[in-house]
Amino acid sequence: MAVKKKSTRASKPATRTKRVTATPVEARQEKSAFRLSTLITVLVFAGIVAAAVYLKRQPDAFSTEETATPEPEPAFLITTEALVTSIEVKPLEGSTAKLERNEENLWALTQPEKGEADQGLAEAAASQIVALRVITPLENTDDPSIYGLDTPVYTIAIGFDDGSTSTIEVGDLTPSESGYYVRLDDAYYVATLSGIGALTNLADIPPYLTVEATPVP
């Protein structure tokens, strides 16, 4: 009986998997990439937040601009566009002065004495009437005496070419001396000091035409 030979194969050595360990350089690169991506994310988020805040505030800004209260325009005591044709200033004490336009549309004094008027001064007074400014209207008008309007210091009567008239009564100076208390056709105001003063000066110094004497050679 033949004996079988047992074949023996050489066994292959077991393959060992090589373990790869990241080098320190590669680790630092990974950390840097992570930090960069994190920074970009934070910046994008911050930009979104800033944009949201800006858009939220913009309507309020536009609304504030649209609803801003406009500056009040100057209020004038006399608002007519008619031409002034006469000015009479009657003081509580002293002589009344009256200026009137004649047929030639020139100013002349009829009181305290008749005479030619200085056209420049007279026209300036007429222009001052329509330029009188109101500082503030007065609401507490139950007692005119608190404003010196129970016995006005001056009464100014104004005539216009359309036939209308207005009467300005002048009372006391305001405590700050910035204006006069006045009454115009039953309405009470504080009017500018310079404007009223320019008119009351007509009674104090009537604007007669001054003729310069010709020197004798």
The predicted pLDDT at position 140 comes to: 85
pLDDT greater than 60 at residue 17: no
DSSP string, 123-137: HHHHHHHHT-EEEEE
The predicted pLDDT at position 75 comes to: 87
Query: How many other CB atoms are there within 10 angstroms of residue 112's CB atom?
Result: 14
pLDDT greater than 70 at residue 8: no
pLDDT in tens, 102-123: 999 999 999 999 999 999 999 9
Confidence of residue 3 (pLDDT cuts 50, 70, 90): very low
193-204 and 119-130 helices, crossing angle to 10°? 140
163 backbone φψ class: left, alpha, beta (φ>0; ψ -120 to 50): left
Which amino acid makes up residue 86?
Answer: S
The predicted pLDDT at position 125 comes to: 94
* Stronger pLDDT, 200 or 185, i.e. the higher one: 200
CA distances from 52 to 38, 157, 196, 198 (A): 21, 65, 58, 60
pTM: 0.64
Confidence of residue 64 (pLDDT cuts 50, 70, 90): very low
DSSP 153: S
pLDDT greater than 70 at residue 53: no
